[in-house]
Chain A
Amino acid sequence: MSLPFIIIAIVTLFAAAAAMSLRNLVHCALSLVVTFAGLAALYLQLGAQFVGFAQILVYVGAVAILIVFAVLLTRSDAMPNQAILAPGWIVGIAVSAVVFATLGWAALNSPGLPKQMPPAPEATVKNIGDLLMTRYVLPLEVIGLLLTAALMGAVIIAMKEEPLSKPGSSRRESAPSEKLERTDPALRDCYEAEKGGHS
Protein backbone atom coordinates (compact mmCIF):
# COMPACT_ATOMS: atom_id res chain seq x y z
CA MET A 1 0.00 0.00 0.00
CA SER A 2 1.39 3.32 -1.05
CA LEU A 3 1.36 6.50 0.97
CA PRO A 4 -1.02 8.41 -1.40
CA PHE A 5 -3.53 5.61 -1.12
CA ILE A 6 -3.46 5.77 2.68
CA ILE A 7 -3.82 9.55 2.73
CA ILE A 8 -6.71 9.57 0.25
CA ALA A 9 -8.42 6.71 2.08
CA ILE A 10 -8.18 8.48 5.45
CA VAL A 11 -9.53 11.75 4.01
CA THR A 12 -12.38 9.90 2.29
CA LEU A 13 -13.37 7.95 5.38
CA PHE A 14 -13.20 11.00 7.66
CA ALA A 15 -15.35 12.97 5.23
CA ALA A 16 -17.85 10.10 5.07
CA ALA A 17 -18.03 9.91 8.85
CA ALA A 18 -18.52 13.69 9.00
CA ALA A 19 -21.25 13.51 6.34
CA MET A 20 -23.11 10.99 8.46
CA SER A 21 -22.63 12.63 11.86
CA LEU A 22 -22.69 16.41 11.48
CA ARG A 23 -25.70 18.31 12.78
CA ASN A 24 -26.14 20.88 10.03
CA LEU A 25 -27.36 19.28 6.81
CA VAL A 26 -25.55 21.75 4.54
CA HIS A 27 -22.27 20.75 6.19
CA CYS A 28 -23.24 17.11 5.65
CA ALA A 29 -23.73 17.76 1.94
CA LEU A 30 -20.35 19.51 1.69
CA SER A 31 -18.61 16.62 3.47
CA LEU A 32 -20.33 14.32 1.02
CA VAL A 33 -18.70 16.27 -1.84
CA VAL A 34 -15.29 15.64 -0.23
CA THR A 35 -16.13 11.94 0.08
CA PHE A 36 -17.08 11.68 -3.59
CA ALA A 37 -13.97 13.56 -4.66
CA GLY A 38 -11.82 11.25 -2.54
CA LEU A 39 -13.44 8.22 -4.13
CA ALA A 40 -12.73 9.69 -7.55
CA ALA A 41 -9.08 10.10 -6.51
CA LEU A 42 -9.04 6.46 -5.41
CA TYR A 43 -10.39 5.41 -8.82
CA LEU A 44 -7.73 7.50 -10.55
CA GLN A 45 -5.08 5.92 -8.39
CA LEU A 46 -6.33 2.46 -9.33
CA GLY A 47 -5.97 3.30 -13.02
CA ALA A 48 -9.64 3.84 -13.86
CA GLN A 49 -9.45 7.33 -15.34
CA PHE A 50 -12.77 7.31 -17.12
CA VAL A 51 -14.66 6.12 -14.05
CA GLY A 52 -12.88 8.68 -11.89
CA PHE A 53 -13.91 11.57 -14.10
CA ALA A 54 -17.42 10.16 -14.48
CA GLN A 55 -17.59 10.03 -10.70
CA ILE A 56 -16.60 13.69 -10.47
CA LEU A 57 -19.07 14.71 -13.17
CA VAL A 58 -22.03 12.72 -11.90
CA TYR A 59 -21.59 12.73 -8.14
CA VAL A 60 -19.78 15.98 -7.38
CA GLY A 61 -21.46 17.81 -10.22
CA ALA A 62 -25.01 16.51 -10.17
CA VAL A 63 -25.93 14.39 -7.16
CA ALA A 64 -24.36 16.72 -4.58
CA ILE A 65 -26.08 19.75 -6.11
CA LEU A 66 -29.36 17.83 -6.11
CA ILE A 67 -28.90 17.02 -2.43
CA VAL A 68 -28.15 20.65 -1.58
CA PHE A 69 -31.30 21.68 -3.43
CA ALA A 70 -33.33 19.09 -1.55
CA VAL A 71 -31.89 20.31 1.77
CA LEU A 72 -32.86 23.88 0.96
CA LEU A 73 -36.31 22.97 -0.42
CA THR A 74 -37.23 20.93 2.63
CA ARG A 75 -35.96 23.70 4.96
CA SER A 76 -33.65 21.26 6.71
CA ASP A 77 -30.76 23.71 6.67
CA ALA A 78 -31.67 25.13 10.07
CA MET A 79 -30.22 23.33 13.05
CA PRO A 80 -32.65 20.77 14.46
CA ASN A 81 -33.31 21.43 18.11
CA GLN A 82 -34.09 17.81 18.85
CA ALA A 83 -31.86 14.76 18.73
CA ILE A 84 -30.49 13.99 15.28
CA LEU A 85 -30.40 10.24 15.82
CA ALA A 86 -33.39 7.94 15.82
CA PRO A 87 -34.35 6.34 19.17
CA GLY A 88 -32.85 2.92 18.42
CA TRP A 89 -29.55 4.32 17.17
CA ILE A 90 -27.36 2.10 19.33
CA VAL A 91 -28.76 -0.99 17.62
CA GLY A 92 -28.04 0.55 14.23
CA ILE A 93 -24.45 1.34 15.19
CA ALA A 94 -24.00 -2.20 16.53
CA VAL A 95 -25.40 -3.75 13.35
CA SER A 96 -23.09 -1.70 11.14
CA ALA A 97 -20.12 -2.58 13.38
CA VAL A 98 -20.98 -6.26 12.95
CA VAL A 99 -21.26 -5.77 9.18
CA PHE A 100 -17.86 -4.07 9.09
CA ALA A 101 -16.29 -6.81 11.22
CA THR A 102 -17.66 -9.50 8.92
CA LEU A 103 -16.57 -7.76 5.73
CA GLY A 104 -13.15 -6.91 7.14
CA TRP A 105 -12.60 -10.44 8.39
CA ALA A 106 -13.55 -11.83 4.98
CA ALA A 107 -11.23 -9.37 3.21
CA LEU A 108 -8.29 -10.17 5.45
CA ASN A 109 -8.66 -13.94 5.61
CA SER A 110 -9.76 -14.96 2.13
CA PRO A 111 -7.12 -17.29 0.67
CA GLY A 112 -8.05 -16.79 -2.98
CA LEU A 113 -7.34 -13.07 -3.28
CA PRO A 114 -4.61 -12.19 -5.77
CA LYS A 115 -1.44 -11.24 -3.95
CA GLN A 116 0.45 -8.97 -6.31
CA MET A 117 -0.54 -6.20 -8.64
CA PRO A 118 -0.76 -7.27 -12.28
CA PRO A 119 0.60 -4.91 -14.97
CA ALA A 120 -1.59 -1.94 -15.59
CA PRO A 121 -4.32 -2.77 -18.10
CA GLU A 122 -5.03 -0.56 -21.06
CA ALA A 123 -8.28 1.22 -20.26
CA THR A 124 -8.44 4.07 -22.72
CA VAL A 125 -11.63 5.89 -23.58
CA LYS A 126 -11.44 4.29 -27.03
CA ASN A 127 -11.54 0.79 -25.54
CA ILE A 128 -14.46 1.73 -23.31
CA GLY A 129 -16.35 3.25 -26.21
CA ASP A 130 -15.71 0.18 -28.35
CA LEU A 131 -17.04 -2.09 -25.64
CA LEU A 132 -20.06 0.15 -24.99
CA MET A 133 -20.97 0.08 -28.66
CA THR A 134 -20.41 -3.64 -29.22
CA ARG A 135 -20.68 -5.96 -26.27
CA TYR A 136 -22.57 -3.72 -23.83
CA VAL A 137 -24.84 -1.96 -26.32
CA LEU A 138 -28.02 -3.48 -24.92
CA PRO A 139 -27.31 -2.45 -21.30
CA LEU A 140 -26.40 1.01 -22.60
CA GLU A 141 -29.77 1.38 -24.31
CA VAL A 142 -31.58 0.07 -21.24
CA ILE A 143 -29.72 2.56 -19.04
CA GLY A 144 -30.68 5.38 -21.40
CA LEU A 145 -34.33 4.36 -21.19
CA LEU A 146 -34.11 4.03 -17.40
CA LEU A 147 -32.57 7.49 -17.02
CA THR A 148 -35.25 9.07 -19.22
CA ALA A 149 -38.04 7.36 -17.32
CA ALA A 150 -36.49 8.20 -13.94
CA LEU A 151 -36.05 11.88 -14.79
CA MET A 152 -39.63 12.17 -16.07
CA GLY A 153 -40.88 10.35 -13.00
CA ALA A 154 -38.88 12.59 -10.70
CA VAL A 155 -40.30 15.72 -12.32
CA ILE A 156 -43.85 14.37 -12.12
CA ILE A 157 -43.47 13.32 -8.48
CA ALA A 158 -41.96 16.62 -7.39
CA MET A 159 -44.38 18.75 -9.43
CA LYS A 160 -46.88 20.88 -7.53
CA GLU A 161 -50.38 19.50 -7.61
CA GLU A 162 -52.30 22.01 -9.69
CA PRO A 163 -56.07 22.15 -9.35
CA LEU A 164 -57.54 20.46 -12.41
CA SER A 165 -61.31 20.99 -12.33
CA LYS A 166 -62.43 23.92 -10.19
CA PRO A 167 -59.62 26.33 -9.37
CA GLY A 168 -59.97 27.99 -6.01
CA SER A 169 -62.68 25.63 -4.79
CA SER A 170 -60.87 24.76 -1.57
CA ARG A 171 -58.67 26.81 0.66
CA ARG A 172 -55.64 24.63 0.18
CA GLU A 173 -55.71 24.87 -3.59
CA SER A 174 -56.47 28.56 -3.81
CA ALA A 175 -52.92 29.85 -3.52
CA PRO A 176 -51.42 28.01 -6.53
CA SER A 177 -54.42 28.79 -8.73
CA GLU A 178 -54.15 32.51 -8.06
CA LYS A 179 -50.50 32.32 -8.93
CA LEU A 180 -51.36 30.49 -12.10
CA GLU A 181 -53.88 33.14 -13.14
CA ARG A 182 -51.37 35.85 -12.42
CA THR A 183 -48.67 34.29 -14.50
CA ASP A 184 -50.83 33.07 -17.35
CA PRO A 185 -51.50 36.37 -19.20
CA ALA A 186 -47.84 37.25 -19.07
CA LEU A 187 -46.95 33.90 -20.59
CA ARG A 188 -49.59 34.39 -23.27
CA ASP A 189 -48.21 37.82 -24.12
CA CYS A 190 -44.70 36.42 -24.38
CA TYR A 191 -45.92 33.66 -26.63
CA GLU A 192 -47.84 36.00 -28.91
CA ALA A 193 -44.93 38.42 -29.11
CA GLU A 194 -42.64 35.63 -30.12
CA LYS A 195 -45.13 34.34 -32.68
CA GLY A 196 -45.54 37.84 -34.14
CA GLY A 197 -41.81 38.28 -34.36
CA HIS A 198 -41.41 35.07 -36.32
CA SER A 199 -44.24 35.60 -38.80
Chain B
Amino acid sequence: MTPLQGCLLVSALLFAIGLAGAVTRRNAILALIGIELMLNAANLNFIAFWRYGPNPEALTGMMVVIFSIAIAAAEAAVGLALIIAIYRHYKTANLDEIKNLKG
Protein backbone atom coordinates (compact mmCIF):
# COMPACT_ATOMS: atom_id res chain seq x y z
CA MET B 1 0.00 0.00 0.00
CA THR B 2 1.48 3.31 -1.04
CA PRO B 3 1.30 6.40 1.23
CA LEU B 4 -1.32 7.98 -1.02
CA GLN B 5 -3.55 4.94 -0.66
CA GLY B 6 -3.12 5.09 3.11
CA CYS B 7 -4.31 8.70 3.11
CA LEU B 8 -7.23 7.83 0.86
CA LEU B 9 -8.27 4.95 3.12
CA VAL B 10 -8.12 7.14 6.25
CA SER B 11 -10.17 9.78 4.51
CA ALA B 12 -12.73 7.21 3.28
CA LEU B 13 -13.12 5.84 6.81
CA LEU B 14 -13.50 9.35 8.21
CA PHE B 15 -16.14 10.10 5.59
CA ALA B 16 -18.02 6.89 6.44
CA ILE B 17 -17.92 7.69 10.18
CA GLY B 18 -19.22 11.20 9.53
CA LEU B 19 -21.96 9.89 7.24
CA ALA B 20 -23.05 7.28 9.78
CA GLY B 21 -23.21 9.89 12.53
CA ALA B 22 -25.06 12.45 10.42
CA VAL B 23 -27.64 9.86 9.36
CA THR B 24 -28.20 7.95 12.58
CA ARG B 25 -27.86 10.36 15.50
CA ARG B 26 -30.99 12.02 16.84
CA ASN B 27 -29.48 15.29 18.00
CA ALA B 28 -29.22 18.07 15.42
CA ILE B 29 -25.80 19.20 16.67
CA LEU B 30 -24.40 15.70 16.16
CA ALA B 31 -25.72 15.71 12.59
CA LEU B 32 -23.86 18.96 12.00
CA ILE B 33 -20.68 17.47 13.51
CA GLY B 34 -21.02 14.56 11.09
CA ILE B 35 -21.21 16.97 8.16
CA GLU B 36 -18.08 18.71 9.43
CA LEU B 37 -16.27 15.37 9.57
CA MET B 38 -17.25 14.63 5.97
CA LEU B 39 -15.94 18.03 4.86
CA ASN B 40 -12.67 17.34 6.67
CA ALA B 41 -12.35 13.99 4.94
CA ALA B 42 -12.66 15.75 1.58
CA ASN B 43 -9.99 18.25 2.69
CA LEU B 44 -7.63 15.42 3.60
CA ASN B 45 -8.12 13.96 0.13
CA PHE B 46 -7.27 17.30 -1.48
CA ILE B 47 -4.08 17.63 0.56
CA ALA B 48 -3.05 14.02 -0.18
CA PHE B 49 -3.56 14.42 -3.92
CA TRP B 50 -1.74 17.75 -3.84
CA ARG B 51 1.24 16.16 -2.08
CA TYR B 52 1.51 13.02 -4.18
CA GLY B 53 0.17 14.40 -7.46
CA PRO B 54 2.28 15.28 -10.46
CA ASN B 55 2.33 19.07 -10.10
CA PRO B 56 2.64 20.09 -6.43
CA GLU B 57 4.34 23.44 -6.95
CA ALA B 58 1.12 24.95 -8.33
CA LEU B 59 -0.44 24.65 -4.82
CA THR B 60 -3.88 24.06 -6.29
CA GLY B 61 -5.05 21.49 -3.76
CA MET B 62 -3.87 23.67 -0.90
CA MET B 63 -5.82 26.66 -2.19
CA VAL B 64 -8.98 24.57 -2.49
CA VAL B 65 -8.54 23.40 1.10
CA ILE B 66 -8.04 26.96 2.38
CA PHE B 67 -11.25 28.10 0.70
CA SER B 68 -13.04 24.98 1.86
CA ILE B 69 -12.06 25.65 5.48
CA ALA B 70 -13.49 29.17 5.18
CA ILE B 71 -16.75 27.84 3.72
CA ALA B 72 -16.96 25.18 6.44
CA ALA B 73 -16.59 27.86 9.10
CA ALA B 74 -19.44 29.86 7.56
CA GLU B 75 -21.55 26.71 7.32
CA ALA B 76 -20.94 25.84 10.96
CA ALA B 77 -21.90 29.34 12.09
CA VAL B 78 -25.14 29.42 10.11
CA GLY B 79 -26.02 25.81 10.96
CA LEU B 80 -25.57 26.30 14.70
CA ALA B 81 -27.56 29.55 14.55
CA LEU B 82 -30.38 27.64 12.85
CA ILE B 83 -30.22 24.92 15.51
CA ILE B 84 -30.43 27.52 18.28
CA ALA B 85 -33.39 29.21 16.58
CA ILE B 86 -35.13 25.85 16.16
CA TYR B 87 -34.44 24.99 19.79
CA ARG B 88 -35.98 28.27 20.89
CA HIS B 89 -39.09 27.51 18.88
CA TYR B 90 -39.59 23.79 19.56
CA LYS B 91 -37.76 23.53 22.92
CA THR B 92 -35.89 20.49 21.62
CA ALA B 93 -32.91 19.70 19.44
CA ASN B 94 -34.13 16.19 18.68
CA LEU B 95 -34.49 15.79 14.95
CA ASP B 96 -37.30 13.24 15.26
CA GLU B 97 -39.55 15.67 17.12
CA ILE B 98 -39.15 18.50 14.61
CA LYS B 99 -41.81 17.38 12.19
CA ASN B 100 -43.87 20.30 10.98
CA LEU B 101 -42.85 23.31 8.94
CA LYS B 102 -45.64 25.53 10.25
CA GLY B 103 -44.31 28.20 12.57
Q: Which residues of A contact B (CB under 8 A)?
A: 1-2, 5-6, 9, 12-13, 16-17, 19-21, 25, 28-29, 32, 35-36, 39, 42-43, 46-48, 50-51, 54-55, 58-59, 62-63, 66-67, 69-71, 73-76, 80, 82-89, 92-93, 95-97, 99-100, 103-104, 107-108, 113-118, 121-123, 127-128, 131-132, 136, 139, 143, 146-147, 150-151, 153-155, 157-158, 160
A103 to B20, CA, bound (A): 15
Closest approach, in angstroms, between the C-beta of B77 and any C-beta of chain A?
Answer: 4
Give the interface SS of chain B, mostly helix, strand, loop or mixed.
helix
* Cross-interface CB contact of B9 among A19, A107, A117, cutoff 8 Å: A107
Are A104 and B12 CB-contacts (below 8 A) given A20-B20, A20-B30, A118-B54? yes
Tell me whether A46 and B7 are in contact in the complex, defined as CB-CB below 8 angstroms, given that A93-B24, A123-B59, A154-B77 are known contacts: yes
- Residues on B with C-beta less than 8 A from A123 are 56, 59, 62
Given A86-B96, A131-B59, 17 further pairs, Cβ under 8 A? A9-B10, A20-B18, A29-B33, A48-B65, A55-B69, A62-B73, A67-B33, A70-B83, A95-B19, A100-B12, A100-B13, A103-B15, A104-B12, A108-B5, A117-B3, A146-B70, A153-B81
